[in-house]
Amino acid sequence: MSEQNQIRFEDGAAYETYMGIWSRKVGEEFLAWLKPPRDLSWLDVGCGNGAFTALLAERAKPLSIIGVDPSPAQLDFARTRPGVSIARFEAGHAMELPAADDSVDAAVMALVIAFVPDPAKGMAEMARVVKPGGLVSAYMWDWPEGFPFHHSHKIIEDRGLPAIAPPSWEASREARLVELWQGAGLADVESRVITVERTFPDFETLWAITLTGPRVATLATTLSPEVKAEIRKELKDRLGVEEGRPVTLKATANAVKGRVPG
C-alpha cells in the first residue's frame, strides 16, 4: 500500500462531519462494555480531534486525561471541544508515547490501531506507560466491511481506482487484536464485536458526507463530473435507496481489553 493510498485525518472539523456521529455511537458502546472505574488517569492514544476524549471525560469521570496525536490541526480542534477542560493535549506518536513508565491508570486507542505502522510496538508502548494492574484497551472498525463508508470505498476500488486502507488494516480484526494483547503479556484479555447504526435523512445528505472523507475527497478532485455522477448512482443503487427516504447504514468494530500484570 503506497503512502498516497492511505487514509489520513488532518482536519478536525472535516473529521467531525464525516465520522463524529459514528465515533460517538461506537465509543458509547465501548465504554459501556469497558465499565471503567471513575477517578482514573487516562492516556488517549491517537486522540485526533478529541471525539473520544470528550466522551471519556463525560462518561468515565476520570481524574485526568492526556490526549496524544501527531496532527497539530486535530489537536487544535480537540482543545476547542466543550467538556474537555480536564484533558491535556500533546503532540506525539503511538510508537513513542510522551509519557513515563507506569504513569497512568489506563490507556486506550479509539479507532486508531489500524493506522499505527507497527501495531505491536504501539501496543507495547501502551503497556509500558500503564501502571501494574492498569487497563489497556482499544477498538477499531473491522476493515474493510465494518467501516461505515465501505460501500463507496468498494465502488472506487472495483472501478480500478486506487485502493483505500489504513496501513495496518489487519490489526482491526478481532483475532489479531487478541493476539496483540496476549503477545504483550497482558492479563484478563477479553474481546467483543460492536455493531452500530446511523440514519441519514436522505441519500443527498449521505452523499455529501461521503465526499468529505479524506481519501474520497482527494480522489474526487481528480475525477470528471461524469465519473463522479456514475459513482454516485452506483452507490445509490447498491444501497437500494428510495428517493427522499432515510438511509440507514451499519458499521462494525472490534474491541479488546486487558490488564498490565502486577
What is the average pLDDT across 26-53?
Answer: 97
> How distant, in Å, are the alpha carbons of 38, 61, 165 from that of 58?
11, 6, 31
Strands 87-91 and 247-259: unpaired
In degrees, rounded to 5, the angle at the alpha carbon of residue 159 between the alpha carbons of residues 173 and 4 is 60
- Residue 239 in domain: no
Strands 104-110 and 64-69: unpaired
Q: What is the pTM of this model?
A: 0.91
- Residue 40 in domain: yes
In whole angstroms, give the CA distance from residue 4 to residue 258.
34
The percentage of the chain sitting over the pLDDT mark of 70, rounded to a whole number, equals 94
Among candidates 244, 84, 56, 239, which has minimal Cα distance to 148?
Answer: 239
- Residue 242 in domain: no
- Residue 225 in domain: no
Residue 5 is predicted with a pLDDT of: 43
In whole angstroms, give the CA distance from residue 121 to residue 130.
15
Sheet holding 247-259, edge to edge: 87-91, 64-69, 41-45, 104-110, 130-141, 247-259, 187-200
Render pLDDT for 103-153 as a digit per residue (tens, 0 to 9).
999 999 999 999 999 999 999 999 999 999 999 999 999 999 999 999 999
pLDDT band at 1 (very low <50, low <70, confident <90, very high): very low
Residue 174's CATH number: 3.40.50.150
By three-state DSSP, how is residue 253 classified?
Answer: strand
- Residue 240 in domain: no
Range of the domain at 189: 3-148+164-198+250-259
- Residue 243 in domain: no
Helices and strands, number each (H, E), in the chain:
9, 7
Assess whether pLDDT exceeds 90 at residue 218.
no
- Residue 116 in domain: yes
- Residue 158 in domain: no
Q: Which three cell numbers stand for residue 121?
A: 510496538
pLDDT band at 221 (very low <50, low <70, confident <90, very high): confident
Domains: count for the chain: 1
Assess whether pLDDT exceeds 70 at residue 11.
no
Assess whether pLDDT exceeds 90 at residue 212.
no
In whole angstroms, give the CA distance from residue 49 to residue 123.
21
Q: Which three cell numbers stand for residue 27?
A: 465509543
